Amino acid sequence: MKVTAAVFEAVGRDMTIEELELEDPKAGEVLVRLVASGVCHSDFHVVKGEWEAKGPLVLGHEGAGVVEKIGPGVSTVEVGDHVVLSWVPYCGHCSYCRSGRPALCPQVQETAYANVMADGTSRLSRNGETVYSYLTTGSFADRVVVPASGAVPIRKDAPLDKVALIGCAVATGVGAVTKTANVRPGDSVLIIGCGGVGLSAVMGAALVSAGEIIAVDLSDESLERAKSLGATSTINPGHESVPDRVRAIVGNDGVDWAFEVIGLKPTLEMAYELTRPGGTTVVVGQSADGVTIEIAPMLMSDREKSLIGSNYGSCHPALDFPRLVDLYMRGKLDLDQLISRHATIHDINDAFAAMGARQAGRTIITY
C-alpha cells in the first residue's frame, strides 16, 4: 500500500514529503487510517539532534484515526473502530503490565525506543530501503501499522482532530497530576512549562480541585491559556523572579507539588528548590541526552523532600484514554485550548519552526 509521509533523514535537513510503501499488518498488529496527528516536543528533540535516532524515519507519535485492517490474533479492535494511538506497545503480561504500569514494560524499550515492531523490523519502506516508524507509531503519515496495544478504541462521536492529543500531551500532563502524584484537593501545585503537556497538567490540577495552581512560562499567550484552564496565578520569568513570586503566593516553605515540564537543568533544580518540606517534585519534561541535575541529598533526608519521575503520566492507555475522551466530551477537559493551528503534512517543517520560535499551542496535522 502506498502512503504519504514526512520523512526525517538527518539533523539540519528539512523533512521531505514522500510516497512510501506500507506493508499489511502482521499478527498482533493494526492498520489505521490517520485523521490527525499532533506535533509534539519529543519529535522536536529528534529534529534538533538532542535525541539520537536513525533515519530515514517517520516521526510523529500523537495521533488518532480509524482502523482499516487487523492482523491475525487481534481481538481488541475491529475494522471501523475509532482509535487514539499510544506509543507504549506493552506486552500485557510482565510484572510492570500486571501492576498497571505499561510504560515501564521491557517491550517498550525493545521496540518503541528502537522505532521497530515486535519482530525487530519496520512495516515502512522506500524503494526497498527500510524506513523506521518513530516509537512504533510514525503518525506523520496518512496510514500507519501499529501494535494492537498501540491502537486504543474510543467512542465514535469524539472529534479525532482534538482527541489525538490524548495520545501524548493530555495523558502525560493530566496523568502526572492525577496518577503519578495523586494530588489531593487543596494541595498547592507549581507547573513549570506551559506547552501541551504543561497545560494538560494545569487541567489535571483543576480537575482534582487543587488549591493554588501556579503556572510558569516565558510566553504570555501560554500563560493566558493556563489561566483559562484553571491556573490561579501565572509567572513569566522574563518579567519577575519565579522563587520570589512563588513564595509570596504560598509562603517561604514552597509548594506541595512542583511539576517540571520542560526538561532543563535550571528549571528542574528550581522546581526542587520551591518544593516544601515533605513535598514532592515530579520530573515530567523530557531532557536532552546527557542532561544531569544537582540535588543536595541532605535536603531529601532532612526535609523529607521527594524527587520522582513520571513517564506517560503513569497511564494505562487501554483504560485511561477512553476516560480522558469522556472527560473532554463532558466539558471537563478543554482540549481545544491546547490547539493553535491546523495544518497539512506539507506544512510539517513550518510546524517545527513555530515550535522553535516558542509559539503557543499545538499544531494539529490533519489528513
User: What span, in angstroms and rounded, lies between the C-alpha atoms of 173 and 284?
Assistant: 8
pLDDT score, position 254: 97
Q: Looking at residues 321-333, what average pLDDT do you find?
A: 98
pLDDT score, position 287: 87
Res 43 pLDDT > 80: yes
Q: Which residues pair with residue 125 across a beta bridge?
A: 21, 130
pLDDT score, position 318: 96
Res 199 pLDDT > 80: yes
- To the query of whether residue 45 is one of the catalytic residues in this protein, the response is yes
- To the query of whether residue 168 is one of the catalytic residues in this protein, the response is yes
- To the query of whether residue 61 is one of the catalytic residues in this protein, the response is yes
Of the listed ranges 175-179, 189-193, 321-325, 346-350, the least confidently predicted one is: 346-350
pLDDT in tens, 246-264: 999 999 999 999 999 999 9
User: What span, in angstroms and rounded, lies between the C-alpha atoms of 261 and 192?
Assistant: 6
User: What span, in angstroms and rounded, lies between the C-alpha atoms of 333 and 331?
Assistant: 6
Res 362 pLDDT > 90: no
C-alpha neighbours within 13 Å on the C-beta side of residue 43? 33
**The pairing of beta strand 124-126 with beta strand 16-22:** antiparallel
Q: Does residue 143 sit in helix, strand or coil?
A: strand
User: What span, in angstroms and rounded, lies between the C-alpha atoms of 162 and 339?
Assistant: 8
Q: Looking at residues 286-296, what average pLDDT do you find?
A: 89
Residues 91, 97, 105, 168: which is the catalytic one? 168
* Torsion angle of C-alpha atoms 184, 190, 192, 197, degrees rounded to 10: 20
The amino acid sitting at 79 is V
pLDDT score, position 286: 87
Residue 270: which H helix or E strand, with range?
Answer: helix 265-273
Helices (H), 78-124: 95-98, 106-110
- What would the CATH number be for the domain defined by 2-169+314-366? 3.90.180.10
Note the residue count of the chain: 367
Res 314 pLDDT > 90: yes
Residue 152 burial (CB count, 10 A): 26
* Residue where the block lists cell 504560598: 250
pTM of the model: 0.94
pLDDT in tens, 117-169: 999 999 999 999 999 999 999 999 999 999 999 999 999 999 999 999 999 99
pLDDT score, position 118: 94
Q: Does residue 24 sit in helix, strand or coil?
A: coil
Q: How confident is the model at residue 12 (pLDDT cuts 50, 70, 90)?
A: confident
pLDDT score, position 200: 97
The amino acid sitting at 290 is G
Residue 36: which H helix or E strand, with range?
Answer: strand 29-38
Res 357 pLDDT > 80: no
Please answer whether residues 164 and 248 qualify as being in contact, where contact means their C-beta atoms are separated by less than 8 angstroms.
no
User: What span, in angstroms and rounded, lies between the C-alpha atoms of 334 and 327?
Assistant: 9
User: What span, in angstroms and rounded, lies between the C-alpha atoms of 169 and 202?
Assistant: 12
Please name the residues in contact with 92: beta carbons below 8 A apart, sequence gap of 6 or more. 102, 149
- Domain ranges in the chain? 2-169+314-366, 181-309
User: What span, in angstroms and rounded, lies between the C-alpha atoms of 242 and 22?
Assistant: 49
Q: Looking at residues 6-30, what average pLDDT do you find?
A: 95
Residues 61, 82, 91, 315: which is the catalytic one? 61
Res 26 pLDDT > 90: yes
- To the query of whether residue 42 is one of the catalytic residues in this protein, the response is yes
* Torsion angle of C-alpha atoms 101, 105, 109, 114, degrees rounded to 10: -100
Q: How confident is the model at residue 360 (pLDDT cuts 50, 70, 90)?
A: confident
pLDDT score, position 359: 74
Could you tell me the CATH superfamily of domain 181-309?
NAD(P)-binding Rossmann-like Domain (3.40.50.720)
Residues 40, 97, 105, 194: which is the catalytic one? 40
